[in-house]
Structure 1
Amino acid sequence: MHPMLNTAIKAARRAASLIQRASSNIDHLRIETKDHNNFVTEVDRAAEAAIVQTLLDAYPGHAILAEEGGAKGESEYTWIIDPLDGTTNFLHGVPQYCISIALEHRGQISQAVVYDPNHNDLFTATRGGGAFLNDRRIRVSKTKEMADGLIGTGFPYTTFGKLDMYVHMLKDVIQKSAGVRRPGAAALDLAYIACGRFDGFWELGLQPWDIAAGSLLVQEAGGLITDLDGETGYMESGNVVAGTPKVFAQLLQTLQAHK
């Protein structure tokens, strides 16, 4: 295993320990509202601090891009961090959230960790080295038809200007797939594509830390991921479409009809 990936795993587990201890005492957490339907807690900040310290202790010259702390430092290596993806789920006791850590090297994601502490699911990937779930090699599903596929999604909760477009997309995908699910943690949704639990996924208005680690997992597991134009600008636009090669093509075509 790549030493940088090992360090990211160590950081994710340290953050998970803080998060899981706090999960039994949610009523006493300090909660702030960043935007409508967008919350941050002292746990998000503590988990992020633990991740950043672990990474910079090992690689002090690396840069950081994190959800709560923003961008820090300049380097050809940048760690992209979401310390608690699925904060709303966490606050309501819904066990669907994760820690997401990715390493970008010269513009490409090279290492990825998505850790679900509730199920002890550790998703990892190194560029060119495949994707893994708890040390077991994973691949996207063999589903070829969107009509047979389970599709994940996320509602646009801060970009309400896209809500009407999204509703039309959702209606069409519901009618053309075997089912649609909205679990509430995009990084984990992308990991589910990688291990075959979902056959396709789309969401609008995401942030880089929602996407970075999951995008490498999807690619290393044999899936495809693009923006709504079928291009690689999803980290910039925040609009993501992913899936098995066959389902991806059908899902993208369905969504593009409503752009």
Structure 2
Amino acid sequence: MDQDLMAKVAAGKVGGMTDSADLALALRLADQADEIARRYFRAPDLGAQRKRDGSPVTEADREIERVLRASIRAEHPGDAFVGEEFGAQGRSRRRWIIDAIDGTASFIVGDPEWSTLIALEDHGDVRLGMVSAPAIGRRWWAMPGTGAWMRPYPSDPSAHPIRLTLTARGNAKDAAIGIWPPPSRLSATERDAAARLAAGTATVLPVLDWSTAAHATPPPSKPSTGSGTCHGALLVATGKLDAFLLLGAGPWDIAAVIPIVEEAGGIFSDLSGQRRTDTGAALFARPDIHQQLLNMAKSPN
């Protein structure tokens, strides 16, 4: 645990955070997840398996989610919980949304760009988001009205959190956008929307033919690969991309990064323009181009 940071949280001095108790709990949860993940990362046997949807899962994913569920239940027994591995538990206006390891495929092969996603929703509105990426030594967090923050750890415990702030840079046709997953894993409707965005913007990562369902050879890397940010939405929050479209996503893939992007000055919505995490689509973008991209993604019919 970063005692210096925790002391600032307790005093309400980190990034203007006012609800220090929830932030402090989220930090403890992130520390627990980091400790478990480090034990498994690059170990010879991760117990990796394929789930029904074809995505990978390891013993680390399961253990992290079990431990975080137990910690939340111990401190807030009335709070609800939903995680990627074990589903939903409880009904409450407060709901924790957890992805134990976002980027399990990277985790399995020993690549460092994976993270734990932690979010707290209140009355359906995400009020806290945290992303912890111990293998690259980064942690991001935000709560509404208090800014989005990144802190390197633990290599430099004296480092102060850095506030993330976006600036307007022009028209959507000049934008750089990341899209994930690749076309072969998208439905025809999703592929059409991705193809329209790819055709209408200047730069698209990964560089693919988004109009076809054919498998790319070699398999493409995520837009965030090599960026030190782990999640495509963080590329937007940190100014490395102008927009990011995530398709076929669950709430656990989206919720934690919503406050971070929004507090940095960006906008989040699904492709209908609604601020929802349950439709499978998430568009994160600079505020000056978000609506342009939504219009671009719409079917001409």
Structure 2 length as normaliser, TM-score? 0.77
Structure 1 or 2: more strand by fraction: 1
For residues 300 and 136 of structure 2, what CA distance do their matches in structure 1 show? 36
* Deviation by residue 1:90-126 (Cα, 9 ceiling, x = unmatched): 1122222111010001111111101111222111111
Is contact 1:227–1:237 with CA below 8 Å preserved after alignment?
A: yes
Alignment of 1:95-174 (within 5 A): 95-134=112-151, 135-155=161-181, 159-162=186-189, 164-165=191-192, 168-169=195-196, 171-173=198-200
Matched, 1:177 2:169: no
For residues 254 and 194 of structure 2, what CA distance do their matches in structure 1 show? 22
Aligned alpha-carbon RMSD (Å):
2.4
> In the comparison of the two structures, how many residue pairs are matched?
255
Of 265, 276, 284, which aligns to 1:222?
265
Cα 1:122–1:44 change in 2 (3 A) is same
Deviates more, 1:134-143 or 1:114-123: 134-143
Q: Secondary structure at the match of 1:119?
A: coil
Is contact 2:46–2:108 with CA below 8 Å preserved after alignment?
A: no
For residues 247 and 180 of structure 1, what CA distance do their matches in structure 2 show? 17
Is contact 1:133–1:195 with CA below 8 Å preserved after alignment?
A: no
Is contact 1:64–1:80 with CA below 8 Å preserved after alignment?
A: yes
- Alignment partner, residue 205 of structure 1: 248
Give the drift of 1:43.
0.7
**Unaligned segments of structure 2, at least 5 residues:** 1-8, 10-19, 152-160, 207-221
Structure 1 length as normaliser, TM-score? 0.88
Cα 1:169–1:94 change in 2 (3 A) is farther
For residues 4 and 41 of structure 1, what CA distance do their matches in structure 2 show? 28
Cα 1:65–1:187 change in 2 (3 A) is farther
Cα 1:98–1:128 change in 2 (3 A) is same
**Unaligned segments of structure 1, at least 5 residues:** none
Give the drift of 1:179.
4.0
Q: Secondary structure at the match of 1:83?
A: strand
Percent of matched pairs sharing the same residue: 29
